[in-house]
Amino acid sequence: MSFIAVDKDSDFPIQNLPYGVFSTKEQPRPRIGVAIGDQVLDLSAIKHLFDGPILSKQHHVFDQPTLNRFMALGWEAWTEARALLQKLLSHKEPTLRDNVELRKRAFVPQASAIMHLPAEIGDYTDFYSSRQHATNVGVMFRGKENALMPNWLHLPVGYHGRASSVVVSGTPIRRPLGQMRPDDAKPPVFGACKLLDIELEMAFFVGPGNKPGEAVPISEAHKHIFGMVLMNDWSARDIQKWEYVPLGPFLGKSFGTTISPWVVTMEALMPFALPNPIQILYGAVEPGSTKKGSHNMCIDPRPLPYLCDDQPYTFDINLFVAIKGDGMSKPANICHSNFKHMYWTMKQQLAHHTVNGCNLRPGDLLASGTISGPATVRETVIALALVNVPEKCSQPDLSDRFLWRTSQRGERGRRALNVLSFV
């Protein structure tokens, strides 16, 4: 329990303590903070209290305008910081609780905080790790018989995105312009995107990087993963459809990607870890076939050794997307899913990313790809509902104009209730 009053329904109890970068009108310099209840704890104001073996010599990282240098310190420093913060915020600890002047300097109401990007993002990679989403999109573009590409069950498919246009929640996104070809019998046209879409994703920030030419083994990958954010991968589907062959998306994606301001650390998420998806070939059965009596009716190929990992590293995080358009009194929930449905884990993504010697750096952003689940969970992109938006969204007053005015909010699962939030 914290001496800071935390409502029982708060997204930011002492078990969470996500990191972010904020400023205020009175103090416009961006600085690092931690969310607790409806307050932000300014770490630059209490940096002298970090007296552990690592941070006592490195507390200058909390004077920085981004999290990059703190993330670069690694897992032991993150654990040290979290332990001290939970101690300082405890109702039993007088150091901060009873120092009226320090409390006045250190705490800022969240309502007064202006949030910034948590890190300087040098590189951004977007994966494609939901089997259900990959299948659904494959059916759209290639038909049911060729829904999954031959490589999909063997490696985490990804592409290099545009880091410079990643923005924090609340930043306006301009409807993109580009080429499209709405009529296959006519030449392409130039204009504003008419099929602006959203994709509900999550992403993680890289902590310590690796040297060029040195791969990160999957057994060590967790030491390079700092924490997670929500992500909206804005997509101009009509531009993307015309341009994506043969090298993938370009202008259809590069105009903007939105992430949440608060980074929930992996240490805070570990209580909600689940066993990894089953990725194993039973006997000599061909991949994609079925085996009677098996609890896992999809028989998949076992990954190559560098991608094999038995340590639980997928997470029970409930997610939903809500849209609020002009004239709507409250947002309409249009889809929901859970991060636990992802086929490839973050550790597999990071190990695969570096296996060729590619070097990652602190602050790099690696995204999950659209998070979809079983057929009972509505698809978390609107593209799959474009033929009949009202039917798919179960909201008769929704129209394509709402593809432009989109908001998202992450909600915790029952196991994680009142523990975690990213927004």
User: CATH number, domain at 280?
Assistant: 3.90.850.10
Q: What is the largest CA-CA distance in the chain?
A: 74
Number of H helices, E strands in the chain: 9, 22
Mean of pLDDT over the chain: 87
109, amino acid identity: P
- Please give the backbone phi and psi of residue 115, each rounded to the nearest 5 degrees, phi first: -90, 145
Residue with tokens 């998949």: 300
pLDDT in tens, 85-122: 999 999 999 999 999 999 999 999 999 999 999 999 99
Residue 143, CA distances (Å) to 53, 78, 131, 135 in order: 58, 47, 15, 10
Catalytic residue among 59, 116, 133, 353: 133
Q: Which token pair is 158?
A: 């990804």
The predicted pLDDT at position 391 comes to 33
Q: Which of 78, 95, 116 is the last residue of a domain?
A: 116
pLDDT at 386 over 60: no
Q: How confident is the model at residue 394 (pLDDT cuts 50, 70, 90)?
A: very low
Answer yes or no: do 211 and 284 share one domain.
yes
> Does some domain include residue 367?
yes
Q: Which of 60, 82, 116 is the last residue of a domain?
A: 116
What size, in residues, is the chain? 423
Q: Which of 203-207, 208-212, 254-258, 378-382 shows the lowest per-residue confidence on average (mean pLDDT)?
A: 378-382
Answer yes or no: do 175 and 315 share one domain.
yes
Q: How confident is the model at residue 152 (pLDDT cuts 50, 70, 90)?
A: very high
The predicted pLDDT at position 282 comes to 43
Q: Which residue has the higher pLDDT, 277 or 258?
A: 258
Count: domains in the chain: 2
Q: Which token pair is 111?
A: 């309502």
The predicted pLDDT at position 377 comes to 53
Q: Is 224 a catalytic residue?
A: no
Answer yes or no: do 187 and 104 share one domain.
no
Answer yes or no: do 237 and 367 share one domain.
yes
Looking only at the bridges linking them, the beta strands covering 107-109 and 158-160 are unpaired
Q: How confident is the model at residue 298 (pLDDT cuts 50, 70, 90)?
A: low
Cα separation, 51 vs 35, whole angstroms: 21
pLDDT at 158 over 50: yes
pLDDT at 387 over 60: no
Note whether 391 and 384 are within 8 A (CB). Answer: no
Alpha carbon distance, N-terminus to C-terminus of the chain: 22
Answer yes or no: do 147 and 91 share one domain.
no
The predicted pLDDT at position 137 comes to 80
Q: Which residue has the higher pLDDT, 230 or 138?
A: 230
Contacts of 187 (CB under 8 A, 6+ apart): 181
Residue set of the binding site = 126, 128, 142, 199, 201, 233, 240, 244, 253, 257, 370
pLDDT at 402 over 60: no
pLDDT in tens, 314-360: 999 999 998 888 888 898 988 889 999 999 999 999 999 999 999 99
> Does some domain include residue 14?
no
Q: Which of 74-78, 116-120, 235-239, 246-250 shows the lowest per-residue confidence on average (mean pLDDT)?
A: 246-250
Instruction: Extract the runs of DSSP E, i.e. beta strands, from 78-216.
Output: 107-109, 114-116, 124-127, 158-160, 166-168, 177-180, 189-192, 196-197, 200-206
Residue set of the binding site for substrate = 128, 142, 240, 244, 370
Cα separation, 40 vs 29, whole angstroms: 15
Answer yes or no: do 91 and 151 share one domain.
no
> Does some domain include residue 8?
no
pLDDT at 169 over 90: yes
Q: Which domain holds residue 59?
A: 19-116
Mean pLDDT across 206-214: 98
The predicted pLDDT at position 414 comes to 30
Return the closest-CA partner of residue 349 out of 212, 204, 234: 204
